[in-house]
């Protein structure tokens, strides 16, 4: 049951990241959420937009946040992620 729910959430947040009609702030929240869930199935959609260059000052609601993507990828790659414990119970 839990794996199905995680898969549903990863799918929903991935679609939100891809939705060009959604606000950039909402899409950034979806990127953050994928990192918090910690399910590696979320890597693909993040990598699609990740360029690896993080500007010094990044307006959160005006661009997809490279900083949030870097943090999410680190969590998805096995970084310390305490919130993943909640999702995996």
> Is there a contact between 89 and 2 (Cβ–Cβ < 8 Å)?
yes
Q: How far apart are CA 76 and CA 85, in angstroms?
A: 13
How does residue 9 score in pLDDT terms, banded at 50, 70 and 90? confident
Domain layout of the chain by residue ranges: 2-88
Distance CA 85, CA 89 (A): 6
Condensed to tens digits (0 to 9), the pLDDT of residues 33-68 reads: 999 888 889 999 999 999 989 888 888 778 999 999
**Region of poorest pLDDT, from 12-21, 27-36, 52-61, 69-78:** 52-61
Cβ atoms of residues 18 and 49 within 8 Å: no
| 3-class DSSP assignment, residue 88 | helix
3-class DSSP assignment, residue 79: coil
Taking 90 as the threshold, does the pLDDT of residue 85 lie above it?
A: no
Lowest mean pLDDT among 51-55, 70-74, 76-80: 76-80
H or E stretch covering 85: helix 82-88
């Amino acid at each position: 049951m839990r794996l199905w729910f995680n898969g549903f959430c990863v799918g929903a947040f991935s679609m939100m990241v891809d939705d060009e009609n959604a606000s950039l702030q909402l899409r950034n929240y979806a990127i953050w959420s994928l990192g918090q869930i910690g399910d590696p199935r979320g890597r693909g959609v993040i990598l699609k937009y990740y360029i690896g260059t993080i500007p010094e000052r990044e307006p959160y609601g005006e661009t997809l946040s490279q900083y949030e993507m870097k943090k999410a990828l680190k969590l998805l790659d096995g970084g310390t992620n305490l919130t993943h414990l909640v999702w995996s119970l």
